[in-house]
Structures are given as C-alpha cells and as structure tokens.
Structure 1
Amino acid sequence: MTSVLLLGFGAIGRHVAQLLSPELAAGTLSLTALVSDRAKHDGRPNHGAEVVDLPGLARLAGRADIDTSPSPRMFDGFDVIVECAGVPAAAQLGPSAIASGRPLVLTSVGALAAPEARAGLLAGPGRLYVTNGAIGGLDVLEAAAQADGLDTVEITTSKEASGLIRPWMSETEAARLRDLRPGDGPLTVFTGNPAEAIEKFPANVNIAVALAWSTRGLSAGTSDADMLGASLERVQVVLQAVAGQTQSAHRIRAAGSAGEFTFDIRSTPSPENPATSGLTALSVTRTLRNVIAG
C-alpha cells in the first residue's frame, strides 16, 4: 500500500481525494491530509482521507519530537507527499519534504518563482514533480525548448473581473473591475513576467510558472534552478479581466526555430470551489499516479 500525505485539504485536496476513490476502495493507497486547523474540517466530507493537524501527524508518525517548525521528520511514514495548500505553504513546507528524500508533487507551482523557495525545492534528495495545473500542451513546448527551438513564450489568462480585485489596488483600480459589464472588452490588469506577477497576483501565477518550468530547456552544465530563473524572465504574462466569464481561459503562444504554437484552454470550475479550475485536481491526480507507478 502506498501512503500519501496531502499538504492542505481545501478545494483541490478534496477533489484529489475524490478522484483517488478507486485506489482507496481497492486498498492500494492510504491518504492523510495535513491541515493547520483540524476543527475547521469537522462536518466536511473527507472522501476517505484521514484529516490531521500537526500534533495528529506526530502521533501517526510515532514521533513526539515533531514540533511546529517544518522538518523532514514530519514526513516519516509516508511514501509520497502532495502539496495543495497554496504558494506560502508550499514555500514553507515543500523544501522540508524534499529534504526528507520523498517525492513531492507540487500544485502551487508559483512557489518556484521565489529564489529561496526555488533553491530548497530543487535541492534534493527528494524529487520534485511539477504539475501542469489548468493548462495543457506543455509536452510539445518542453520538447521544443530542449532543442533550443523557442525564442518567445507568452500566456494570456482571462478571468472573471471581480475575482481579480486585490487589497493593494486603489479604489479607482478596484472600481474599474467592479464596474465592468458583460460585453465590455477585456481589461488588461497586468503585463510582465511570472517573477513580477507573483507579487501582485499570487493566486494566478501557478500556470505561468508551470509554463516557465516546461520551457526552461536542458540544463547541461547549469542547474535547474538557474535555468528556471532565466525562463521566468523570458515568459511573458498578460492577465485580463472579463465581466461575467464563468470559465478561466488561457491562450499560450510560443515561437522559434521549432515552429509556431498556439494553445487555447477553457477549463470547467472545480466542483469544490468555482474559483478554482477543475483541471488542477485532475493534473495533480494524474501526476501522483505516475509517481506511484514509477
């Protein structure tokens, strides 16, 4: 039996647990979910996962010496770690999971945009598996990038306008988003690279960083961290607000000696949270199954 630890049990984690029901029913997989506040999950369906806080995790691991600080010891007793807790938690807990030597499936790919977290997540000895999240077509772009066949990479993401309002915005900026009506043209709220976008729109950067990861190219003589750093500077991100849009839409464009590529993706919202793409949990579950299969 493969023992899997989920870091986080929000919309994505619960959807992943649902998707793993065949393995859970067959008894080939056990699922534990680590949360910061166990009481908040009382009364919610756990879909076959055992939901624990850090003291509960310590009891499961038989380690009374586990404290509240991230440590590789937290992951004793688990075969695979799956992060689905958000960028801050991924940056805090992910490096310890990697240091434990276990494979880590990373959902909050935006954590790789921060140099310190990137170094820890790629330091080993555990292996990092970066999920594609809500976008596809990355296998083609990865092949082209490894042949040094891409010069430009761009992703344009459009989302419901009200969901892009941020606390740092001025009242004028927020009002422009609130006042958009269906039929109005898209309003561009950000243009730049993923490293810049994570400061302003952290919840919308995961897919851009996943694109940068896939198009980093081969790292002959150069570390993956450095290759990714350069790719994060190259990828261009355009974030647009559209009133009344029920699906997130992504257009990826890439060009170079390997050719010209355009991918359009519109994803159905998660059944657990309409603000989250349903494709994210599908991608995480597929990646986890591939890790288990070896």
Structure 2
Amino acid sequence: MKARLVIIGYGAIAAELIGRLRDKHGPDCVLAVLLRADSTSCSKLPAGVSCLTSLDEVLHFKPDLVIEAAGHHAVHNYAQGCLAAGLSFVAVSVGAMADDAFFKQLSQTATQSGAKLIFPSGAIGALDYIGAVRDLPDTQVVYESRKPPSAWADELQRLGVAQPLTEDVVLFDGHAREAALRYPQNLNVAASLALAGNGFERTQVRIVVDPHAKGNTHRVHATGAFGEMHADIVNRPSPDNPKTSWVVGLSLLATVERYFAPVVFG
C-alpha cells in the first residue's frame, strides 16, 4: 500500500495505527500527524513522522487520506475543511454525527467536492447486516453496552454511586442520539449503528455498568421482516485507555487498508 496519510492526534489509537502501518508497509506509507502548535506530543512522534500544526500544512502535505483519532473536537475543527479541499476524511469519533445539522453539512460538502466521509466499524461488528436491512419499515435495532466500572469511574463518582459495585447499574436507556450526545467519549458505537442503520431516533440504546464484565461488551439485536440477528462482541479494553476497546485501532487500520485496496469486501 503506497499512501500519504495525515493522522489527527497522537493518543493510544493513533500511536497503534502508526506503529502497525510502519510495520506492515514501511517507507511506502508516508505519515504525518496533525497536532496543536503547543502540543508536547510533537517531540514524541517516531522518527520519520512529520508534525503538522494547521490545516494549511495538511493541504501542503497533500495526503491521500486524513484520519481523525483525537475526539469530537477534532472532527468539528477539521472535517469540513478537509472535505471541502477534496480530501477524504476518516472519523473515529462517530458520535460527533449526533449533531444532525453538522452531519448534513459534512455530507453536502463531501457530495460537492467528491471526497468521502468514512466511518470505521470501530469496536462493533455486523454493520453490513444492519445497513442491508435498514430500509425495511419494521426493522428495529437495540444496542446494549456493558463495560466494567473502570470505564465509567468519573460518571459513577459524579452520580454518587458507591464502589465497589456488587450489581449492575443502568446509566442510560433511550435512543441513540441522546446517548451519543450525553456520553460522547463512550458511545461512538451507538452512533455507528444509527448511521449504518435506520437513524438515531429509531436505534435504542441501553448502557450498563457491569461489575462482572470481563471486557467491553457490545450486544446488538435486530429484528424485522428479514428475520432476527443477535451479535455479542466482548472486547478487551485498550491498555492505555479503559474507555476504548483495543480492537478500535485494528479496525482503523483495516479501514485505511480497505480504502486503498484493489479488492474490497462489504
């Protein structure tokens, strides 16, 4: 795979992506990272990875693809400018699309420029199935997130929930838009299901803190005229961020490679 790539951010996901790209593709993959001008991460980048500090520098670098791995603010700050310049944009922080006006703006810009707004599957699977049945009028999708208390430590403290927990705590039960807006750092999966499927208001979400969870568990249940689908995925948390599943970095690598691949499954 020969490509010029810009990655926004240098957290755990970006660092893993860069490491795997360099291991698999070596010098064929020319990499740069977009960071704030005052970021201390510039000095931590691996040798041979350029540090960029503005959208103008990104455009001058002339990447084939821009990949966001820095949070919702990065999507808001850079997606529009990249798409308008004709640069396809991969957004890990799918929950930013819960802002319907913002999503429509990006979609319109991508249509006009010919660029693509791309969402990796991240911590979830079965999005191809959900996308295939979404237009059937009776399709229903329910998503349940189960994570250990360590993933929700700040929220549990804010709510005054005593720890250690001995039983499940339900943090949320409602539709995907409210879930993604309320918990932007934890509910990118809900937004992915909503976008791939039949919309934010028609995708039901339940968030459970499970003291017995062995990993980040995602349960998807879809029913309709097509039949019935159940998917249970148990992901190990990232060693560097318990709120993020380890597989997210691998999913991002697969998304990038699929973008440049001559043969695509989907």
Is 1:280 aligned with 2:239? no
Q: Which amino acid aligns with 1:106?
A: A
- Which residues in structure 2 correspond to 1:130-141 (within 5 Å)? 130-141=119-130
Are the structure 2 counterparts of residues 37 and 239 from structure 1 closer, same or farther at C-alpha, using a change threshold of 3 Å? Answer: farther
Q: Which amino acid aligns with 2:237?
A: P
Q: Tell me by how many angstroms 1:252 deviates.
A: 0.5
2:143, 2:70 → 1: CA distance?
A: 24
* Conserved? CA contact 2:180–2:191, under 8 Å: no
Q: Tell me by how many angstroms 1:104 deviates.
A: 1.0
| 1:152 paired residue among 117, 140, 151 | 140
Is 1:34 aligned with 2:34? yes
Are the structure 2 counterparts of residues 140 and 149 from structure 1 closer, same or farther at C-alpha, using a change threshold of 3 Å? Answer: farther
User: What root-mean-square deviation, in Å, do the aligned CA atoms of Structure 1 and Structure 2 show?
Assistant: 2.4
* Conserved? CA contact 1:144–1:150, under 8 Å: no
Q: Aligned residue for 1:120?
A: 105
2:15, 2:77 → 1: CA distance?
A: 21
Identity among equivalent positions (%) equals 26
Q: Which amino acid aligns with 1:234?
A: R
- Which residues in structure 2 correspond to 1:236-255 (within 5 Å)? 236-243=204-211, 245-255=213-223
1:95, 1:259 → 2: CA distance?
A: 39
1:97, 1:33 → 2: CA distance?
A: 14
TM-score normalised over the length of structure 1:
0.79
Q: Which amino acid aligns with 2:163?
A: D
1:42, 1:120 → 2: CA distance?
A: 31
Are the structure 2 counterparts of residues 119 and 240 from structure 1 closer, same or farther at C-alpha, using a change threshold of 3 Å? Answer: same
Q: Which amino acid aligns with 2:132?
A: A
1:47, 1:267 → 2: CA distance?
A: 31
* Conserved? CA contact 1:17–1:47, under 8 Å: no
Are the structure 2 counterparts of residues 155 and 3 from structure 1 closer, same or farther at C-alpha, using a change threshold of 3 Å? Answer: same
| 1:209 paired residue among 188, 191, 198 | 191
Q: Aligned residue for 2:169?
A: 187
Is 1:161 aligned with 2:149? yes
Are the structure 2 counterparts of residues 152 and 180 from structure 1 closer, same or farther at C-alpha, using a change threshold of 3 Å? Answer: farther
Q: Aligned residue for 1:2?
A: 3
2:99, 2:75 → 1: CA distance?
A: 11
1:191, 1:275 → 2: CA distance?
A: 19
- In proportion to residue count, which structure has more strand? 2
| 1:82 paired residue among 47, 57, 67 | 67
1:89, 1:277 → 2: CA distance?
A: 20
Q: Tell me by how many angstroms 1:149 deviates.
A: 6.6
Are the structure 2 counterparts of residues 6 and 242 from structure 1 closer, same or farther at C-alpha, using a change threshold of 3 Å? Answer: same
* Conserved? CA contact 1:150–1:254, under 8 Å: no
Instruction: Extract unaligned runs of 5+ from structure 2.
Output: none
Secondary structure of the structure 2 residue equivalent to 1:260 = strand
Q: Aligned residue for 1:103?
A: 88
Q: Aligned residue for 2:77?
A: 92
Q: Tell me by how many angstroms 1:243 deviates.
A: 2.6
* Conserved? CA contact 2:96–2:184, under 8 Å: no
1:158, 1:270 → 2: CA distance?
A: 15
* Conserved? CA contact 2:67–2:89, under 8 Å: yes
2:188, 2:85 → 1: CA distance?
A: 24
1:274, 1:255 → 2: CA distance?
A: 31
Aligned length: 257
Q: Tell me by how many angstroms 1:194 deviates.
A: 1.9
1:7, 1:42 → 2: CA distance?
A: 12
| Range with greater deviation from structure 2 (31-40 or 186-195) | 31-40
1:74, 1:194 → 2: CA distance?
A: 34
* Conserved? CA contact 1:7–1:81, under 8 Å: yes
Secondary structure of the structure 2 residue equivalent to 1:136 = coil
1:209, 1:93 → 2: CA distance?
A: 19
* Conserved? CA contact 1:269–1:276, under 8 Å: yes
Secondary structure of the structure 2 residue equivalent to 1:237 = strand
